[in-house]
Amino acid sequence: MNIIFVEPAFPANQQRFVHALASVGANVYGIGESEEGHLGDELRGAMRGYYRVGSVTNVDEMNEAVQHFQRYVWIDALEATVEAHTMAAAQVREARHIPGTSVRTTWLCRDKPSMKEALRRAVVPTAAAAGVDSAEEARRFAARVGYPLILKPRAGAGAAGTSRVDNDTELAAALAAFGAEGTSSIAMEEFVEGHEGFYDTIALRGRVVHDWATHYYPNVLEAMRHRWISPQFITTNRIEGNDFYREVRDLGARVVDALGIKTSATHMEWFYGPKGLKFSEIGARPPGVGCWDLYSASNDVDVYREWAHIITHHAPESRMSRPYAAGIVALRPDRDGRIQGYSGIEEIQKRYGEWVIDGHFPPEGQGTQPIEAGYMANAYVRMRHHDFDTLRGMLDDVGRTVHVHAG
């Protein structure tokens, strides 16, 4: 099978997808923005060909690159795993008659107001939402729905650019900030109270064949507002035979069907609170922030290879036996500046060494990243354990014990 993969070199974990495809027997052809000589022998050796473009989001350039490969081989699939690359990939698929996620489905998975409207028609429980193009429209939505409200870029990924507003003054300030960034249209949503998590899948011909349910502690907006919090997310190994996760799975299957997703990885966010389970949003691509590393560790299965096998051979290779829960705790520097050192690492290693998957500690002298940059922006530790609650306690202990000193 001949598969084009979009942007094999950046970010660094993109190489995992290329090597996984090659490992299951696919002939991989890369399209990216890097000079071919900068790819490195290992990555270059995993591909049958490479074509450089100025931008992988430029449809004309991508179309030309795909045409180049089609002159020599039959192209069976064109895969993009980064949110910002998915629309250009979908448009080129349709232009070059390559099977895969359609432009319509990609649009519904990226444009949040359109996504919510399609799901409401399918009777999927979701927050009230709208796309607004002016301050007046925003004020009318606020008057109709009431505060608090969530404002997001229409096609953003994860929590990037997301803000909560609780009154007219905060709404005006948020709209001004979006305007300063050149954003003319934004998504507004009803704030849904409750616990936040996500549900990730790999679907084959419209049916979920692999899935994982993961919890945030605390919710993302709170985690990204306060430096003192060492936030976590943990994927559970209790998904089988549990009424709540049965509801999550049913919700996910209905979303996959309503949006026309066929064979693709997905990442879905949800809330559970006084109003029950509510769908938040979806990406028709793998999750970020190293989630598949946790899923691999929790199942003793290479999830990247499993995705590649489904894409290449249209069948799963392994099953998810779920012997472990697995999670990450982000460790924030005590201030912005440069890393000066760490404390508590040895203590944690002595207590929990057998359960540690890995850790990342930037070297002394390296500049810190802002806390809103995410869970892997600075230091972090990833762990697994057979018991979810025990693991959560261990991650809490890591967050209390390990300190990142900056100045």
CATH class of the 2-100 domain in this structure: alpha beta
Decide which of 78 and 158 is more confident: 78
Can you give the pLDDT at residue 31? 98
340, containing H or E segment: strand 339-343
Domain map (residue ranges) of the chain: 2-100, 128-190, 195-406
Same fold, 2-100 and 128-190: no
For range 2-30, the mean pLDDT: 97
Residue 295 sits at φ, ψ, to 5 deg, of -65, -35
Residue pair 232/327 in contact by the 8 Å Cβ criterion: yes
pLDDT surpasses 70 at 86 = yes
Tens digits of per-residue pLDDT, 344-377? 999 999 999 999 999 999 999 999 999 889 999 9
Mean pLDDT on 277-288: 94
The pLDDT assigned to 19 comes to 98
Decide if pLDDT at 104 tops 90.
yes
Run of H or E residues at 44: helix 41-45
> Residue 61: is its pLDDT beyond 70?
yes
Q: Is pLDDT at 156 greater than 80 in this prediction?
A: no
Whether the pLDDT of residue 175 is over 90: the answer is: no
Q: Name the pLDDT band for 267 (thresholds 50, 70, 90).
A: very high
User: pLDDT tens, 325-336?
Assistant: 999 999 999 999
Q: What is the pLDDT of residues 208-245, one digit of tens each?
A: 999 999 999 999 988 988 899 999 999 999 999 999 99
pLDDT at 157 > cutoff 60: no
* Share of residues in the chain with pLDDT > 90 (%): 78
CATH topology of domain 195-406: D-amino Acid Aminotransferase; Chain A, domain 1 (3.30.470)
Q: How confident is the model at residue 97 (pLDDT cuts 50, 70, 90)?
A: very high
Q: Would you say residue 188 has pLDDT above 90?
A: no
Closest CA to 154 of 124, 126, 178: 178
What are the Cα distances from residue 226, in Å, to 153, 223, 229, 247, 335? 22, 6, 6, 32, 11
Q: Is the model more confident about 369 or about 192?
A: 369
Helix (H) or strand (E) holding 401: helix 388-401
Mean of pLDDT values over 250-265: 97
Q: How far is CA 171 from CA 147, 156, 167, 222, 224, in A?
A: 10, 19, 6, 18, 19
Say how many C-beta atoms besides its own lie within 10 A of residue 132's C-beta.
22
128-190 CATH, one of 3.30.420.40, 3.30.230.10, 3.30.1490.20, 3.10.580.10: 3.30.1490.20
Six-digit token string for 349: 């290693």
Average pLDDT over residues 47-70: 98
Average pLDDT of the chain to the nearest whole number: 93
- Rounded CA Rg of the chain: 22
**Residues 114-128: what's their mean pLDDT?**
90
Q: Give the pLDDT mean for 160-182.
A: 79
- Which residue did the predictor score with more confidence, 180 or 324? 324
Per-residue confidence (pLDDT) for residue 129, from 0 to 100: 78
For 195-211, write each residue's pLDDT tens digit.
999 999 999 999 999 99
Percentage of the chain beyond pLDDT 70 is 97
